[in-house]
Chains A and B, each alone.
Chain A
Amino acid sequence: MEWSDHAIVLAARKHGEGHAVLDVLSQQKGRARGYVRGGSSRRQRPTLEPGNLVDVTWRGRLDEHLGTFRVEMIKATAPDLFRKPPRLAALDALTSLLAAILPEREAVPEIYKECLVFFTMLGDDGTADISWGAELVRLEVMLLKTLGFGLDLKACAVTGELDNLCYVSPKTGRAVSAGAGQAYQDKLLKLPAFLAADTPAAPEDIRAGWLLTGHFLERHLLLRPNPAVMEARSRLAGYFS
């Protein structure tokens, strides 16, 4: 079997002395893994940095085999972000999260497309940190929805109100209005206004957004406890304080 596709590098783990096992999010095949001969070599290592846009050709006898990848760089994302700590932290947090939660061999073209948009925003110096921060929260909400754990943020789960939605139930993922949630605000998650309506975001809204998505990502999608992935998100949130 053989296929070629454009893909985003999520992770590369060293294998043996000079090789690597590559984890990518491809446009049409979704998350895929494969062995890269010489993947840890000086020539190939820069291509396999997380966030890079690459052209991959996968070969294997059966679809469920690990198979091998031939990889060619299309665009390097990471080097432009090396001197921009919050943006590099965002790249690290997103790619490690995707590698940890996306199922293999399931196409998620909308996530792939959103990731490309997000990486373009990260690389664009004209994009304010608040803008890409809000975009990352929206991307994570979309990720939850795509993987079957969508949040219901359209109406209050208690009263049916459409306005003044301020909280989200940590159990059901449904929005709760300010009035109905007042008495339980310690137990509810805060819903940032920019997620409920198209309003500009503030740094505290971005942090609240990551707390919200982080709760559901950890609860439903991180199959094994992975403190390092959650810490990468916390480091990112630290830049928005």
Chain B
Amino acid sequence: MTARAFKIEQLIQLLAKMPGLGPRSARRAVLQIIKKRESYMLPLAALIREVADQIKTCRVCGNLDVTSPCHICQDPKRDTATVCVVENVSDLWALERAASYKGLYHVLGGTLSAIQGTRPEDLNIKTLIERASGGDVGEIIMATNATVDGQTTAHYIIERLKGVSVKITAIAHGVPVGGELDYLDDGTLSAALKDRKPY
């Protein structure tokens, strides 16, 4: 293999490690990038370099952005009295895609897990307590996943927030939009029935 072909192979191997891509799809992506050198390859390379140089973890909420505080924490249109607690940045992005929440966020960076060995000090919990105790926050929305680890983490945070004058709420669990009862698992149905509301 020539040195040039080896470089391309290296690029394919690196791309193949990304989520959702295998060796075959990475090969197709690399071929496409190479074919469209001006429109894909050069801007992509420049952007990756730029983001790699500038990416920061927001010191307030833990979001990833090129500035710290991030663009959400700096946005004057946001409701600064409401903080939504999520497990990971991907959850924050999911809520942002929904565009129905206009408050701020707090990214924990994972969940407590006895199996994985994740302890409270490994998560972004201390800064959340400090944020809540600061006096500017009126409501904290627990939006951790509906898993044993996610809910255990939520309960732990709620325990730690006892004594702090802040309203604590949690997102609902139950039937997804477009979901048919026949296809839902027992746990989701059970949670949906338990969280039912007056019509």
Contact = CB atoms under 8 A, between A and B. Distances in A.
A49 interface: yes
B119 A82 contact: no
Contacts of A228: 112-119
Best-surrounded residue of B113, B147, B191 (most CB of chain A within 10 A): B147
Interface in B93-122: 112-120
A208 B158 CA distance: 25
Contacts of A182: none
Contacts, number: 84
Interface residues of B, number: 29
A171 B127 CA distance: 41
Nearest to A83: B194
Contact of B159 (A47, A227, A238): A238
Interface in B163-199: 173, 185-188, 190-191, 194
B159 A79 contact: no
A49 B147 contact: yes
Given A76-B190, A80-B190, A82-B191, A11 B152 contact: no
A41 interface: no
B124 interface: no
Main secondary structure of the interface of A (DSSP, over half): helix
A11 B19 CA distance: 23
A168 B156 CA distance: 31
Given A82-B151, A82-B191, 16 more contacts: A46-B188, A49-B148, A52-B187, A79-B191, A82-B146, A82-B173, A92-B152, A93-B114, A100-B114, A228-B114, A228-B115, A228-B116, A228-B117, A228-B118, A229-B114, A238-B159
24 contacts: A11-B115, A49-B147, A50-B148, A76-B186, A78-B147, A79-B146, A82-B173, A82-B191, A85-B155, A85-B159, A95-B148, A96-B115, A97-B114, A100-B114, A226-B114, A228-B112, A228-B113, A228-B114, A228-B116, A228-B117, A228-B118, A228-B119, A231-B114, A235-B156
